[in-house]
Amino acid sequence: MSKDKRKYSSEIVDGVEQTPSRAMLRAVGFESEDFEKPQVGIASTWSMVTPCNMHIDKLAESAANGVNSVGSKAVIFNTITVSDGISMGTKGMRYSLVSREVIADSIETVVGGQGFDGLVTIGGCDKNMPACVMAMARLNRPSIFVYGGSIKPGSNRTDVVSVFEAVGKHSEGAISDIELLDIESSAIPGPGSCGGMYTANTMASAIEALGMSLPNSSAQEAVSESKILDSVSAGEAIMHLIEEDIKPRDIMTKGAFENAIAVVIALGGSTNAVLHLLAIAHEAKVDLSLDDFERIGKRTPVLADLRPSGNYLMSELIEIGGIVPLMKTMLERDLLDGKQMTVTGNTLEENLLKFDDYPRDQQIVSHIDKPIKPDSHLRILYGNLAPQGAVAKISGKEGLRFEGRAKVYNSEEDAMEGILSNQITEGDVLVIRYEGPRGAPGMREMLSPTSAIMGKGLGDKVAFLTDGRFSGGTHGFVVGHITPEAFDGGPIAFIQNGDLISIDAESNQINLDITEEEIFKRKDSWVCPVKDEEGGVLDKYRSLVTSASEGAVTTKK
């Protein structure tokens, strides 16, 4: 095998001086002929921490079989994961976004330290997926991402968000203890990522549109023969990338990121895609900003009727062909750049030609001339409340403008207590602050309070804003990622109960109805109530992390 194909591993295993390295590798299963093969790391996010990742060990083994079948040598290694759904609403959720950086760092560390020539990563939960691609971008070695796959529906088409919203219904007396237990016991039937167009399925779709996974990797159930085959195919495909020296930054260009943004919008995807695509672009050395989301959003319609704001589950989209037919339609209307390279070694356009269109009688994806919304549901807002930007998720079903009086809470726990004790009423703007990347620290998701609001029937009657972020399962009139965050003395820190707040998703404005002089007056008397962390990873994260408008990353430009 040419040394060029072993660009990195040859430094580890060639020559007399590397005899100890070869001796160690023989102990983990290397034969003499394996030292002449390119080495491919298989980064597995398997764990029993969460159903999203509990099956990924089998996918990693399948990918390794694919790698070994084409003349390379696979080496499986693991990294961590944190479950948003389990830690949601607790202090543990502070570690969720932090884990994205830890995972990216760990994959980079193993691949760099072991000298792998190529990399296959397999992710199945909200943060380990962007983390895998961030590591690929940093390392810039031939790489492919495999999505772990979506979960099957629970009883009566329930999913994880059904459980969160049931908590609100229970507090209202709308369902009994027994009914709550029934939903708890049946909504999550086994392996796979949460079943709507929540963050995991959103990011899987974005990564596929970005060109970093094989066609339809984003649209296969976790427990399926197609997902096993996808893993094997990814392992086989890595050899072509190594031979042709096609690297992640050759694929992840500015045009590829624009494709990913457009697909996220068409699918009605999660606000977290903004945060994660900014972070991936940062690692790929691509200049991407909030303004790109606003620009692309003006021309891109929402087409898919998927949860949380729509009606259908990812499993139902899979049945009609996944996202490939959607991308074909978008390509025909010049909403995607088909000339972008992908991990197949072909362009996006060449990949899409091989697939059929959606069945004519399907109801999940609207005709492009009759969209659910003619422009993006992801709104980038500015104003005196968010001078550096904020991200709103407004489908239009809850209206395009909201004006109301502030009800202010300095933590998610305080807000949740207020919601369940009926402190929030129609017309309120619920404000949760000190939950940003540095304030929390960790920028917690707010699925528990937003789901409780929906469960209480207030979803279209109140607005909700925070310097934290929202789960992909969130719907309603919500604005997150407000920057500067409260911890850094952003205007959100100076809101008082009863202040009038206006949110306009047509003019993309979010404003606090007080004078500039009053804002400065309040700032002069402001004292940050958040205490320093007592060492550890959260303290390290707080000292390094950038704002949400920059992707909340911890590495330098």
At 475, give phi and psi (nearest 5°). -145, 165
State the Rg of the chain over Cα.
Answer: 23
* Residue of 169, 349, 341 whose CA lies nearest to 248: 341
- Rounded CA gap, 103 and 78, in Å? 10
* Residue of 474, 262, 295 whose CA lies nearest to 368: 262
At 121, give phi and psi (nearest 5°). -115, 145
DSSP string, 317-367: HHHTTTTHHHHHHHHHTTSS-TT-B-TTSSBHHHHHTTSPPPPTT--SB--
Tokens 């930007």 sit at which residue? Answer: 389
- Backbone torsion region of residue 494, taken as left when φ is above 0, otherwise alpha when ψ lies between -120 and 50, otherwise beta: alpha
Where in the sequence numbering do the catalytic residues fall? 471
From residue 498, how far is each of 464, 495, 526 by CA, in Å?
14, 9, 18
Query: What is residue 531's DSSP assignment?
Result: P
**C-alpha torsion sign, points 501, 507, 508, 509:** negative
Beta strands of 248-307 (E only): which ranges?
A: none
- Total number of residues shown for the chain: 557
- Collapsing DSSP to helix, strand or coil, 477 comes out as strand
Encoding tokens for residue 553? 């990353």
Encoding tokens for residue 291? 């303004």
Tokens 């980079």 sit at which residue? Answer: 108
At 440, give phi and psi (nearest 5°). -60, -50
Q: Cβ(358)–Cβ(259) under 8 Å?
A: no
* Residue of 202, 426, 442 whose CA lies nearest to 317: 202
- Rounded CA gap, 430 and 418, in Å? 10
Q: Chain-centre distance of CA 544, in angstroms?
A: 21
Q: Cβ(196)–Cβ(307) under 8 Å?
A: yes
Helix (H) or strand (E) holding 41: strand 39-44
Helix (H) or strand (E) holding 409: strand 401-409
Q: Cβ(149)–Cβ(208) under 8 Å?
A: no
Q: Is 517 exposed, middle or buried (0-12, 13-18, 19+ CB in 10 A)?
A: exposed
Q: Tell me, what amino acid is at 172?
A: E
Q: Greatest CA separation found in the chain?
A: 76
Q: First and final CA of the chain: distance in angstroms?
A: 36
Encoding tokens for residue 415? 């807000």
